[in-house]
A and B are shown apart, each in its own frame.
Chain A
Amino acid sequence: MLNWGSMSRWFTDSRDRSLSIEVDRLTKRFGDFVADDAVSFSVASGETYGLLGPNGAGKTTLIRMLTTLLPPTSGSAWIRGHDVVAEKPAVRSAIGTVSQAVTTDENLTLEENLSVQGKMYGLWGHRLSERIARRLSQVGLADRGRQLTRQLSGGMRRRLEIARGVLHSPHVLFLDEPTTGLDPQSRRAIWDMLGELKADDPALAVILTTHAMDEADFLCDRVAILDHGRVLCEDSPEALKRGLAMGERAEIETDHPVQQVDRSGVEALGAVNWRQITPTVMEFQSRPGEGIGRRAAQDLEERGYRILHLTIAPVTLEDVFFSYTGRALRES
């Protein structure tokens, strides 16, 4: 294999610049433990890419390698054609990061925090202050520029972190669990804000890690599910849901216990994963693409049961997630 690390300098211009991120068999070992095992994927510019996975799946390690904070054990990765090992300064200029750590100083005002940050990228004077004002208004903190950062709520603090991450107009933005621990309003505000940032700069590629499946579904053009350091699947959320072995989930409550023979009738319609929660409450799933919840309820009514309650839940990314990662708790 060619050593891209040392040769990429020559190839920089010939690499596909429309690819914001290219990851090729990136591996990180800590002793015997393999945090990331030959991970490969690519992200086009303008794309939002989600990395999903349980705690300890290797998401944060992956992001650290891509943001030059951790050297890979083997494999390569390029940010806009710049090798993350051999061309760190170029990579660092091209990326913005919002990590799980708090990287704004609470003793500084919002403007001062951004001013310190901007200088790290060579911004100065009028251009810097203009940029600070624009980013603060984009994250809805325009009127708080002179407040001390410690006076912000958790949600506002996270928005400031995002303003800090995009201050220098990066090509690629890394968001490590951007909404963890926030209330629903703040989460929504951050989703909307990310949408506006993308509208403002359509070429911005975003990589985000999250545990929140609805977040990935809402924000990402494509997602990859990671577990034990491996990419288990990668596609658009819609395609992943379609590709599941299960369809919608139905929960039916009847007025009296369902007889075995009637249950078999429902199963014949295509119900799988049958769970009898109580004698009168049952839960099952359809096969992919078939919505049988309503038909099952009708069938039971025809068999003389009264339906007290019917819940039909469409397939979510969470179903996809569980189908790939299982339901077992992750230890350490």
Chain B
Amino acid sequence: MKARTDREGASRPRLAILGMVAICQRAYLTLWRQPVLIISTMLFPLVYLLILGNALNRQLRHIPLAVVDEADNALSAGCRRGVMALASGRELVTAVFEADRDTALADLRRGRYRGVWILPFRLSSRGPAPAFVGDNTERFSYDTLESALSQIWGEVARGRAPEAIVAAVHLEAYPYLDYLTYLGPAVVCLSIFMGSMVSGGLQVIEDRMYGYHEGYLVTPISTGTLVAGHILAGSIVASLAGILVLIAVLVVLPGPTVSHAAVAAAVATVFLTSVSISSIWFLLFARARQASVLRGMFGIINALLFFPSGALYPVESYPPWLRAISSVDPLTYGVESLRDLLLRGASAATAYPRWVFLATFSLVCGVLTKVLFRREV
């Protein structure tokens, strides 16, 4: 009977490979049938980049500052010249010279000024020194003003011209681009995170809710294949999103010229990071059955993976407990590796240890998932 020969089970390796191919095939096809999915996956990080890059690291300008010159000597004149240079050159401040300290301080409290610089009677390098009263409800302006003014006083007190240091601050046409470039790798990682969530985590739960999963479970493919296939499927979509954003970052953002080898290594980094993030999602949802779980988890996981990764701020400045999270966060390794390759011009070899970490991390998650995964409905 001819039909019978078809029924004899396929060999295990063949089933494992074809099973993974099947799961990836479906994820890939689903993605192209729902372009909204990939567009939103990539749009989110790009919007993030634009908003954060422009909002967070804009250089401060036009901070209203009152100067009260009670000394009226050579030193206080130097200080005033420094402030005027600050106002006209760098446009850091808008300076107003007030005659009376009480009026100036009252105006500060009314919100008219962010700071008042008082040059007291008999101002001299041996004291009394200038006093800065700042509006400390807004830390960025306070810190910037204080440091600029103390620099000016430092120069003036040593008998040097304060304009020199003010003029030494160079002007940039697009002052936020540095930070945007710094954010580039972070945005690639964010798109990986989104991509793996949308196609990995969400898909697994949806499959379970709608019953597609049952269709997988009754087939002869092994649980290991099922887990590996899903992780791989999630990471294919995540890598795709990551690579597209990577291209956008390379084209749009100015950075050092990157060699082909470094780009290839960056792509490999994107893929490995995708695999490890997908494996986290699948581990988390090894037993979850409801999409509401994902909705609740998304914010937490986003905060836990993205912010400690050093994507936005250098890891070195974190408190120890946060550094501990960073050290096991796959995104840390992805971000650092991409920064080395794309911004610091490092060779591909620098990425190898991080690849080892990412691969090991994925493997551990995968094995845990296989153990936790329930094949029963």
A residues in contact (CB < 8 Å) with B? 64, 67-71, 89-90, 92-95, 97, 99-105, 107-108, 112, 115-117, 119-124, 127, 148, 164, 168-171, 201
Contacts and interface: CB of A to CB of B under 8 A. Distances in A.
B7 interface: yes
B292 interface: no
Nearest to A112: B29
B163 to A, nearest CB: 66
Nearest to A113: B26
Given A89-B9, A105-B26, A169-B3, A122 B15 contact: yes
B212 A119 contact: no
A316 B217 CA distance: 38
B202 to A, nearest CB: 13
B139 to A, nearest CB: 50
Among B22, B216, B222, B376, the most chain A Cβ lie within 10 Å of the Cβ of B22
Contact of A101 (B15, B25, B26, B211): B211
Contacts of A119: 18-19, 21-22, 25
Contact of A120 (B3, B7, B19, B34): B19
11 contacts: A64-B377, A70-B376, A97-B218, A99-B211, A99-B214, A101-B210, A101-B211, A103-B215, A119-B19, A164-B215, A169-B6
A219 B172 CA distance: 81
Nearest to B206: A105
Contacts of B3: 169, 201
Nearest to B31: A107
Nearest to B217: A69
Given A64-B377, A94-B7, A108 B216 contact: no
A116 B9 contact: no
B30 A122 contact: no
A122 B9 contact: yes
Interface of B: 3, 6-7, 9-11, 14-15, 18-19, 21-23, 25-26, 29-30, 33-34, 210-212, 214-222, 375-377
B212 A122 contact: no
Contacts of B375: 68-69
A124 B221 CA distance: 14
Contacts, number: 109
B214 A69 contact: yes
A218 to B, nearest CB: 25
Given A101-B210, A168-B6, A170-B7, A69 B22 contact: no
Among A95, A100, A108, A120, the most chain B Cβ lie within 10 Å of the Cβ of A120
Given A92-B220, A101-B214, A107 B29 contact: yes
B11 A122 contact: yes
Contact of A102 (B21, B26, B212): B212
Contacts of B211: 99-103
Query: Considering the complex of A and B, which 10 residue pairs feature the smallest CB-CB distances, nearest first?
Result: A101-B211, A122-B10, A103-B215, A119-B22, A120-B219, A107-B33, A119-B18, A92-B220, A93-B9, A93-B220
B207 to A, nearest CB: 9
Contacts of B6: 127, 168-169
B39 to A, nearest CB: 16
Nearest to A115: B25
A201 B1 CA distance: 10
A108 B29 contact: yes
A168 B30 contact: no
A90 B9 contact: yes
Given A70-B376, A164-B215, A171-B7, A148 B33 contact: yes
Given A69-B377, A70-B376, A201-B3, A122 B215 contact: no
B219 A121 contact: yes
A129 to B, nearest CB: 14
A92 B215 CA distance: 11
